[in-house]
């Protein structure tokens, strides 16, 4: 499947910067994988059948949840694109139900970056783009939000 931006580039338009949602979306899946691994280790520590069976069943449930969360995070990252071209800002989310917005760089009034402490450490955050007569668009949890902002505001 081709990238969305490659399909909509106009003649003479060049891609300047591309980013995606941050890998932090995998954090719930990582936690579930750790729970499954700990339950497997605990199951090996006991010799009573009911405790071992309980730990193995809980590990299997945690493993299935981890598999689901991993797929969901991967799919969200795969179906989300955020790009800056020399003419506009383009953001696309979704696969079947698609949400996109495009804003001409000439219409951008301000670009705000909101990062938590963890966001500062791991380099992710929310970007709010305000357009002249275009409204407000918020892009959540993108990687390298300051670099993204700089490509929008620097001309």
Q: What is the pLDDT of residues 95-129, one digit of tens each?
A: 899 999 999 988 999 999 999 999 999 999 999 99
Query: Residues 6 or more apart from 93 whose CB is under 8 A from it?
Result: 79, 80, 99, 100
| C-beta separation of 82 from 74 below 8 A | no
Q: What is the pLDDT of residues 23-63, one digit of tens each?
A: 999 999 999 999 999 999 999 888 888 889 999 999 999 99
In the chain, the percentage of residues whose pLDDT exceeds 90 is 77
- The Cα 92–Cα 152 span in angstroms is 17
φ/ψ of 60, rounded to 5, equals -65, -40
Q: Where is average pLDDT lowest: 2-6, 50-54, 137-141, 150-154?
A: 2-6
Q: Is a pLDDT exceeding 80 seen at residue 90?
A: yes
């Amino acid at each position: 499947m081709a990238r969305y931006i490659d399909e909509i580039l106009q003649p003479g338009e060049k891609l300047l910067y591309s980013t995606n949602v941050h890998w932090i979306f995998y954090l719930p899946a990582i936690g579930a994988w750790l729970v499954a691994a700990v339950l497997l280790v605990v199951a090996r520590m006991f010799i009573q059948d009911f405790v071992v069976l309980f730990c193995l069943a809980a590990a299997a449930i945690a493993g299935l949840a981890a598999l689901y969360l991993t797929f969901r995070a991967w799919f969200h990252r795969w179906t989300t694109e955020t790009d800056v071209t020399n003419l506009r800002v383009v953001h696309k989310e979704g696969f079947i139900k698609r949400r996109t917005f495009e804003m001409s760089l000439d219409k951008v009034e301000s670009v705000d970056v909101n990062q938590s402490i963890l966001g500062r450490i791991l380099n992710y955050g929310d970007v709010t783009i305000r357009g002249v007569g275009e409204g407000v668009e918020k892009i959540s949890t993108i990687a390298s939000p300051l670099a993204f902002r700089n490509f929008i505001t620097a001309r």
